[in-house]
A and B are shown apart, each in its own frame.
Chain A
Amino acid sequence: MDIDKIIDENKGLKIPLIPVLLKIQEIEGFLSESTIRHVSRRLSIPLSQVFGVATFYSAFNLKPSGVNKICLCEGTACHVKGSTRIREKLERILGVKPGETTKDGIFTFTTINCMGACAMGPIMKIGTEYFGKMTPGKVDSIIKEYISP
């Protein structure tokens, strides 16, 4: 089983929990309840602690996410440059609020507090691709590309 392999590889680390959870999430896309229970048992860390770590960091998600992860920056610089309007536009097109996944499972829409690329603001990220200097007008065409590849 993949999870067991990951755990065995990282068992020697001083604090193996976070690397293990990150790698599992890379493969499975999210952390299911059974996965978390399994990790807790294999690493002999209390379940409450594993669950605490998984809920603490925003890098972990406990719900299955869509194929494409849309991440919109709502930091100070992006906010000033109008990221609110882009968020409204995205909400309207996708029909979901930040933190939710569309019904067809293609997009997960999240917001972030700063991406660290304020000069490119307002900035949006889909998967690993960055879209800087966003305008509400650009949103349509970008989303369309991802719906019909």
Chain B
Amino acid sequence: MPFKSTDENITGGKDFPDLYYEEDNLVSLTIDRQKVRVEKGMTILEAARWMGIKIPTLCYHEGLTPWGGCRLCVVEVIKRGRSKLEASCTYPVAEGIQVKTNSEKVQKTRRMIVELLISSCPNSRTLQDLASGMGITEIRFKMEDNDCILCGLCVRMCKEQMMSGGIGFINRGAKREVSTPFHKSSEICRGCGACMYICPVVTLQCRGRREPGDLCNACINVCPTDFGF
């Protein structure tokens, strides 16, 4: 149990057995004006989720190594009076830092990221839901119809959980893509389908009424339970 509130009145100081927290192993920081002490080596995302603060993520998964590719989990980290946008899934907690997970700057950046992602993969339900959740009603970029946002979930899933490593990133820059070596079917792929299962783009297709390749926004004013997901 890595969490301990600094406020002695809440915990009474004795709620957790001493066994669970060794003083040397704790780091105190402020997340959204709340002071917390968490274990060293945790990331800001883990600490915030521990506290129940929601930070949207795409390329993060508990069972896989943090990647920091989608940048959707950006937070404002204030260190020595300077504020900086950092990907919370790869930023380790540090003594005395101040974190804002939902400031105006963060929201603006996240909306921009979702806009850019949706303009490349408008058919993904995950992305359309994110856009509706953030209240994005307009995409200012040219819409494309790709089926990959290069989040790397499938690559890490294949390598780390399925112990296969059949697919990987190839090329770089604008030509970067996920593929098998030499574009030939891989000998070590067992066809387990874990890459498809974890993909946020191809498995969940947006089924709202919309023009193909457009922003959906069907769920923007609807309660999720009414919509019949």
Contacts and interface: CB of A to CB of B under 8 A. Distances in A.
A102 interface: no
A141 to B, nearest CB: 36
Interface string A46-62: 11111110011000000
Interface of A: 33, 36, 46-52, 55-56
B182 A52 contact: no
Nearest to A33: B182
B159 A46 contact: yes
B193 to A, nearest CB: 17
Interface string B171-201: 1100000001110001010000000000000
A36 B170 CA distance: 14
Contacts of B169: 52, 56
Consensus secondary structure, chain B interface: loop
Contacts of A49: 159, 165, 168
26 contacts: A36-B181, A46-B159, A46-B164, A46-B166, A47-B165, A47-B181, A47-B186, A48-B159, A48-B165, A48-B167, A48-B168, A48-B180, A48-B181, A49-B165, A49-B168, A51-B168, A51-B170, A51-B181, A52-B168, A52-B169, A52-B170, A55-B170, A55-B171, A56-B169, A56-B170, A56-B171
Contacts of B159: 46, 48-49
A38 to B, nearest CB: 13
Given A48-B181, A55-B170, 20 more contacts: A33-B182, A36-B181, A46-B159, A46-B164, A46-B166, A47-B181, A47-B186, A47-B188, A48-B155, A48-B166, A48-B186, A49-B159, A51-B181, A52-B169, A52-B170, A55-B171, A55-B172, A56-B169, A56-B170, A56-B172
B201 to A, nearest CB: 20
Report the interface size class on chain B.
10 to 19
B92 to A, nearest CB: 21
A50 to B, nearest CB: 8
A1 B76 CA distance: 54
A74 to B, nearest CB: 15
Contacts of A46: 159, 164-166, 168, 188
Interface of B: 155, 159, 164-172, 180-182, 186, 188
A56 B166 CA distance: 17
Consensus secondary structure, chain A interface: helix
Contacts of A51: 168, 170, 181-182
Contacts of B182: 33, 51
Contacts of B170: 51-52, 55-56
Contacts of B171: 55-56
Contacts of B155: 48
Contacts of A56: 169-172
A85 to B, nearest CB: 26
Nearest to B172: A56
Contacts of B172: 55-56
Nearest to B168: A48
Nearest to A49: B168
Contacts of A33: 182
Nearest to A47: B181
Nearest to B184: A33
A110 B95 CA distance: 49
B161 to A, nearest CB: 14
A46 B186 CA distance: 11
Nearest to A45: B165
